[in-house]
Amino acid sequence: MKCYVPTDAPPLEPARLVDDFAPPLILPGAHKLCAGCGEPAAMRAVVEMIEAMGFTNRTVGVFGIGCYTSFSPGLDVEVMQALHGRAPSLATGLKRVHPNSIVFTLQGDGDMVNEGLQEVIHTAARGENVTCIMLNNGVFGETGGHMTATTVLGQRTKNSLEGRNAKKHGYPIKMAEMLAPLDGVAYVARGATNNARNIFRTRKMLRGALAAQDQKRGFSFVEILTMCPTGWFIETAEAPDYLHDKMASFHRMGVIKDAAAASA
């Protein structure tokens, strides 16, 4: 019988662990989220972009409450924990005290849109020089997959088992499109982590948002669509396509506003 991996001698190169591939700003150890979750890829894109842009030694993250909160002890980035939805206000205070720092918030759709919508709207309207990042999976993943204000019509959640119905549940909020018209907003984009191409596009969006902050052009916002097969009650492998077919057809991907580009 043919053996593809010879075991009668030491391997030509030593075995590599997941940590060997982790970017420098992620501390050794595994994340604790479900298989197929879209959030770790988004988190990785954020810290990789911070490092690539040379912001490492002046970056502070303000975290909301959700599954992604569990990333906070595993990052070699300063983190301040906010209460549900209040991250943009904490980020405002931090940025005003340390105007040369790079401040980003990491929030979910439940945190930002359901629990603290006014915080992000006022922060955007004031034109605060911070970057808000919203991981949008359309459910309250951490508490078990309940409907949020961004759940798309027809989407099954724990409390919309027949699919979200506009008559019964109202219409979803398009966060990126809602914030973009505000004068204080410099950059708005929506990406996704359902495939390598979209992760690459999302990294470029993050670069645009962080550059807007660094150049003190105003508020920047990146919404990232992420998979939540657990909360969506579907097979893990189906989640990337589900995201593409159901979510991205309503929450359209792309750069929605780039004030510098528009005036240039």
Contact residues: other proteins, CB under 8 A: 24-25, 27-29, 51, 56-60, 63, 69, 72-81, 94, 97-98, 101-103
CB 98, min distance to other proteins, A: 5
Q: How far apart are CA 92 and CA 114, in angstroms?
A: 20
Cβ closest to other proteins, residue 105 vs residue 155: 105
Cβ closest to other proteins, residue 102 vs residue 175: 102
CB 5, min distance to other proteins, A: 33
Q: How far apart are CA 227 and CA 141, in angstroms?
A: 10
- Residue among 79, 176, 184, 77 nearest 126 (CA): 184
Cβ closest to other proteins, residue 1 vs residue 97: 97
Residue type, 112: M
CB 19, min distance to other proteins, A: 11
CB 94, min distance to other proteins, A: 7
Q: How many CB atoms lie within 10 A of CB 155?
A: 21
Return the SS3 of 148.
coil
CB 134, min distance to other proteins, A: 20
Cβ closest to other proteins, residue 90 vs residue 179: 90
Cβ closest to other proteins, residue 51 vs residue 177: 51
Q: How far apart are CA 44 and CA 21, in angstroms?
A: 11
**Cβ(87)–Cβ(66) below 8 Å:** no
Cβ neighbors of 188 (< 8 A, separation 6 or more) are 176, 179, 180, 220, 221, 222, 255, 256, 257
